Amino acid sequence: MPELDLINLDKKKVGTVPLSPDVFDVKVREHLVKEYVSLQQANRRSGSASTKSCRGDLRGGGKKPWKQKGTGRARVGSIRSPLWRGGLTLFGPTPRSFGFKLSKKSKKIALKSVLTDRVRNNRLRVVETLTLEEPKTKAAVALLKKLELPERTLFVVAEKDNNLELAIRNLPNTDVLSVEGLNVFDLLVHETIVCTPESIKKIEERLN
């Protein structure tokens, strides 16, 4: 069974935390991780690009510009023809959703794969507590320095912590997530993941 050192805010080891091998020591499925990231990015696309491709979208063009025969010119039914300036657009984009579906099982396997990778590469740390006395950015910066954490750090908490969230929100590359909001994209874009024993337990409950 894998385990990680449990450290306090002075970066001193105060014990160990056992990890469930079903969550933190699985076969890494890279293709499912890629699928999950593609899903998240697709869901973030607005899909609001739109062009006027229907006669009802444009004003005018109700009257035939000239008679069908006898003028020597090409036949035209409307000044809103796609061939004319100011006319309709053929096969242009319309509002749509880029999202697609991924099974719950695949999502869980992708999350387990990334967590396993973070453990194997020493990029997951467990801290005894992450509470801050006051919601100030200075306190969050001091916390990062004490624990010798990089700028791109993700704090995963078991319960909502207003002081921690308010202190960290001004740091551009550092984030706080609850266990319920844990996702593959955020785990990948941050260099180090910091958890508490409580959040480790909740992650195992969610993914088992």
Q: Over the chain (208 residues), what is each successive 10-residue block's mean pLDDT?
A: 86 89 93 94 90 84 92 92 89 90 93 94 92 89 91 91 90 92 93 93 92
- What's residue 130's pLDDT? 86
Q: How far is CA 6 from CA 85, 165, 187, in A?
A: 69, 22, 20
Which structural domains are found in the chain, ordered by start? 3-27+103-207 (3.40.1370.10)
Angle formed by the axes of helices 104-120 and 30-44, nearest 10°: 110
The helices-and-strands tally (H runs, E runs) of the chain is: 7, 6
Cα Dmax for the chain = 96
